[in-house]
Amino acid sequence: MNKLLKSLSAFALPIVLLGCGAMSPIRVLDPNSPAMQINGFKVIPPQRAGWQFSSTDSLVGFYRLLSLPEAPGASENEPQTFVITVETLRAASDDIATVDGLIRYTGRFSSAVSPERRQRLVEHTLSAYRDHGTDCVSFNAVVEEQPRKSLLEIRGAGFVCRHPSSSGHVVRGMYSERHAAGVQTHSSEPDVREAENVLKSVEFMLLRP
């Protein structure tokens, strides 16, 4: 297993991605790649070099290994990593039929933590808005994790939008970064800007059966 896969196996917020089943093999993403069309949406991928990606029929994930720890005794399970995912999800119509329901749906996902990984929710915000003719909710979350002696921090942000052509589906886009708490050996600001551009590029498409 390469270093990127090792880092993803310990990632918190994109656990939904790793549990999706038939992901395609992780491949290197060519810079300046054109828009990718997934069932329910299309998205312009990151345009800089250094990204890898994988996908299913309803999800695409972009991965970047920013750095590995150099401290004595540090584990390869504690690198600085960055992930972007966009996916179409089926949701119970009653859960997302109203703005309040969409907020609750988004909150359940974005505030979830894993007791097994000794995670603790530190910050969490939700905000409803309208975009592309449908209701959406943006979220930000900070999670602390202490699976071993080292304290890790995961920062994530993104959105959930009710799909405009299907009341029973949502499109969820997010990015998240994982690193040792208080230690960022590589500035993630360019990656955050690129992730925000990726999420802003999302356009809804008709869902295939």
Task: Give me the tens of pLDDT residue by residue for the chain, a chain 209 residues long.
Answer: 344 443 443 343 343 333 344 567 889 999 889 999 999 999 999 999 999 999 999 999 999 887 765 554 444 456 678 999 999 999 976 789 999 999 999 999 889 888 887 888 999 999 999 998 999 999 999 998 886 667 888 889 999 999 999 889 999 999 998 877 776 556 678 899 999 999 999 999 999 87
Rounded-to-integer distance, Cα 204 and Cα 24, Å: 22
Residues in contact with 78: Cβ distance below 8 Å, sequence separation at least 6, in sequence order: 10, 69, 150, 152, 180
- Stretch (H or E) spanning 5: helix 3-9
Helix (H) or strand (E) holding 6: helix 3-9
Per domain, the residue ranges of the chain are 3-204
pLDDT of amino acid 186: 61
pLDDT at 7: 41
> Minimal CA–CA distance to 199: which of 110, 139, 125?
139
Residue 122: Cβ within 10 Å count: 14
User: What's the Cα-to-Cα distance from 3 to each of 107, 185, 191, 204, rounded to whole Å?
Assistant: 31, 17, 19, 34
Instruction: Please tell me the distance from the alpha carbon of residue 68 to that of residue 81, in angstroms, as a whole number.
Output: 9
Assess contact for 179 and 11: CB atoms under 8 A. Answer: no
Report the topology of domain 3-204.
Protein Transport Mog1p; Chain A (3.40.1000)
Task: Tell me the pairing of strands 80-90 and 169-180.
Answer: antiparallel
Is there a contact between 54 and 25 (Cβ–Cβ < 8 Å)?
yes
